[in-house]
């Protein structure tokens, strides 16, 4: 890859994740403080991510893989998304907010696959080049969080009470408009399907990868992946609301510690996989979820603020050591013809089914721990801590250790 192409793809990836990180992290705080949303309504809002993930394979498989260049479809989706994000900033009730959010996430989730497809098609060796491009997406997410807390102070107590977080949607609408226009300048990425080639429903859903589930070890990992999405959903849905409600200064900016640690532990992951094996790597990831929520349950922004910051910084271990290593495990176990289908299957199971169930459970738990003027956060966080610990204990008992090698693990 030449330097110019790297820059163009890096800008694309930076904008893609700046847009997501610029509103998704703080939405729970905005809903509770400004739209008087209940726990169930917050769960409904966050579950739009799951519905988008479930619908995404149809959008990409039916349109991008057959009829339209990926970069053009990316541009159209982000231009339409910009209009929906602006409407979100003007909504004054949850009933007025939710339809636009659902429509937006149905448009946004397919763009995650599109930016990857555009990147992969321009690379001679994706295993060597892609991580360096994808890193700029994480940086975009970090910059969005830092801007919200340290540049605009939209999550400060007074600003939060006055509804300033609605400007996150305006900011991201502008970024989405920019990426939509920029997408039409990206390298051509035409459809791969040949004219007249039929694509079945099974192809779109990756059903040919279901043969992986015949293996007992992989089936155990597959079930654990769905279950671990319950603790993950608690973090996405309630971490920012927890930190702002307990008055941790610059909460959104401090949450970027999670993305910074994600970069560091991503670099450590191949080394750990080679020396510890898949079972211990996955277990460390699951136990990190339990530790994170134990710290959240017992920390506070005053004398025990370090517990909150360590809990945030554990995100790299929580996410990389379970979800990224799981993608590597899936790649290693799948045959050459079903690697893409297998990744689609595990993504549909986790971000689709697993997160959908996780957001609903999180909403139910939070709804039972509402207190005068806020929430009983210790009671809320101890649930996902115990849940993750139970999943880890069962996994430790029944999963056989394996050592896998893949392009991602050996890069």
User: Which has the closest alpha carbon to 338: 214, 227, 211?
Assistant: 211
Is residue 406 scored above 60 in pLDDT?
Answer: no
pLDDT at 30: 97
> Would you mind telling me the total number of residues written for the chain in this entry?
411
Dihedral in degrees, nearest 10, Cα atoms 245, 248, 252, 258: -110
Q: Which long-range contacts (CB under 8 A, 24 or more apart) does 70-73 make?
A: 70/114, 70/117, 70/118, 70/121, 70/189, 70/191, 71/114, 71/118, 71/183, 71/184, 71/186, 71/187, 71/188, 71/189, 72/183, 72/184, 73/110, 73/114
Mean pLDDT to the nearest integer, 45-53:
94
Rounded distance between C-alpha atoms, residue 389 and residue 386, angstroms? 5
Question: Residue 408's pLDDT is what?
Answer: 42
Q: Give the model's pLDDT for residue 102.
A: 97
Instruction: Answer yes or no: pTM beyond 0.85.
Output: yes
pLDDT value of position 142: 96
Parts of the chain belonging to CATH 1.20.1250.20: 1-189, 205-411
pLDDT (tens digit per residue) in 59-112: 766 676 678 898 999 999 999 999 999 999 999 999 999 999 999 999 999 898
Pairing of strands 370-371, 374-375: antiparallel
CATH hierarchy code of domain 1-189: 1.20.1250.20
The string of pLDDT tens digits covering residues 193-249 is 555 566 666 665 556 678 889 999 999 999 999 999 999 999 999 999 999 999 999
CB atoms within 10 A of CB 215: 12
Report the topology of domain 205-411.
Answer: Growth Hormone; Chain: A; (1.20.1250)
Model pLDDT for residues 52-70, shown as the tens digit of each residue: 988 887 776 667 667 889 8
CB-CB contact of 304 with 196 (8 Å): no
| pLDDT of 2 above 60 | yes
pLDDT tens digit sequence for 370-400: 988 789 999 999 999 999 999 999 999 999 9
Beta bridge partners of 375: 370
pLDDT of residue 409: 42
The residue with greater pLDDT, 295 or 122, is: 295
pLDDT digits (tens, 9 = 90+) for 246-271: 999 999 999 999 999 998 998 888 88
Section 283-292 average pLDDT:
97
CA distance linking residue 27 with residue 255, whole number of Å = 14
The answer to whether residue 44 scores a pLDDT higher than 80 is: yes
Helices 94-121 and 48-59: crossing angle in degrees, nearest 10, is 40
Chain center to CA of 44: 16
């Amino acid at each position: 890859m030449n330097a110019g192409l790297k820059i163009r793809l890096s800008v694309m990836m930076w904008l893609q994740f700046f847009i997501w990180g610029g509103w998704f992290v703080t939405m729970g705080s905005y809903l509770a403080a400004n739209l008087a949303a209940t726990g169930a309504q917050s769960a409904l809002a966050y579950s739009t991510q799951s519905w988008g993930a479930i619908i995404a394979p149809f959008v990409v498989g039916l349109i991008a893989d057959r009829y339209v260049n990926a970069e053009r479809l990316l541009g159209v989706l982000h231009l339409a998304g910009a209009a929906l994000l602006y409407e979100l900033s003007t909504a004054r009730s949850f009933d007025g907010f939710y339809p636009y959010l659902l429509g937006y996430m149905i448009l946004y989730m397919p763009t995650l696959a599109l930016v990857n497809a555009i990147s992969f098609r321009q690379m001679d060796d994706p295993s060597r080049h892609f991580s360096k491009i994808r890193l700029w997406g994480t940086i975009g997410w970090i910059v969005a969080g830092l801007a919200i807390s340290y540049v605009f102070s939209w999550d400060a107590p007074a600003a939060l009470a006055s509804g300033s977080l609605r400007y996150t949607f305006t900011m991201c609408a502008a970024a989405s408009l920019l990426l939509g226009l920029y997408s039409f300048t990206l390298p051509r990425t035409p459809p791969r399907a040949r004219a007249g080639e039929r694509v079945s429903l099974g192809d779109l859903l990756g059903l040919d990868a279901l043969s992986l589930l015949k293996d007992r070890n992989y089936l155990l990992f597959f079930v654990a992946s769905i279950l671990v999405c319950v603790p993950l959903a608690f973090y996405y849905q309630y971490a920012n609301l927890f930190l702002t409600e307990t008055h941790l200064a610059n909460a959104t900016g401090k949450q970027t510690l999670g993305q910074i640690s994600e970069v560091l532990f991503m670099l450590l992951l191949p080394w750990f996989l080679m020396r510890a094996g898949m079972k211990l790597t996955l277990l460390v990831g699951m136990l990190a979820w339990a530790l994170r929520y134990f710290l959240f349950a017992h920390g506070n922004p005053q004398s025990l603020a370090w517990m909150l910051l360590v809990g945030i910084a554990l995100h790299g271990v929580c996410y990389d050591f379970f979800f990224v290593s799981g993608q590597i495990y899936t790649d290693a176990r799948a045959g050459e013809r079903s690697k893409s289908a297998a990744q689609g299957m595990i993504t549909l199971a986790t971000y689709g089914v697993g997160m959908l169930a996780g957001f609903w459970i999180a909403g139910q738990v939070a709804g039972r721990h509402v207190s005068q003027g806020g929430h009983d956060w210790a009671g809320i966080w101890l649930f996902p801590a115990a849940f993750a610990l139970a999943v880890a204990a069962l996994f430790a008992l029944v999963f056989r250790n394996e050592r896998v090698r893949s392009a991602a693990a050996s890069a």
